[in-house]
Amino acid sequence: MPIEIEKKYRLTELQRTSIIARLTELCADKFSAKCEVNTIYTNPVLQSENAILRLRRIGDRAILTFKKRFPSSSPIKRQLEEETEVADADAMERILDRLGFTPTLVYEKRRQTWKHCDTEIAVDELPFGWFMEIEGEESAIERVEAELAIDGLQAEEATYPQLTRTHGTRNGDLIEARFSEG
């Protein structure tokens, strides 16, 4: 069973700049920045399981993901995560619709990613703010926190879909958080 272990933080723009500079000093492996469009689907079964189905588009790529977070009071979250790359995102949308899944949320994200000390560090810009996620084993997350010198940062407990519900704009039955054009 694939378990994702991560900790998320809300950042100011100054904190974001400082973290990126520190990652550079640590010689973390940087990967190209990506823009994503994430659509969250639901149905009664997913709702009863407190789970989501996400179709993520990154350029010409698409990834379908099932996530179910395990209850925890720890700022380091664990969730079941099953995902697979999809050859045709438009066809996948039609299949999901025919299976009774309804798109409820759409959020855009600009992501920069690094690898360091057996973790993946993502610095994300969403229309409602800056965030950082550190993904890896709990001990590796704690080590990277120390190396980044982020003692004062508070963990963000909410998921991006929960934050989109709070900060997004309702468009019919869909809640969206998109970057402004222009």
Average pLDDT over residues 45-63: 94
Average pLDDT over residues 102-106: 96
Q: Model's pTM, two decimal places?
A: 0.93
Residue 65 C-alpha from the chain's centroid: 11
Question: Which residue, chain included where needed, has tokens 């999901």?
Answer: 96
Per-residue pLDDT at 51:
94
- Integer angstrom CA distances of residue 61 from 57, 116, 150, 158, 170: 6, 25, 33, 26, 27
C-alpha 56/C-alpha 154 separation (Å) is 27
pLDDT exceeds 70 at position 84: yes
Structural domains in the chain, sorted by start: 3-177 (2.40.320.10)
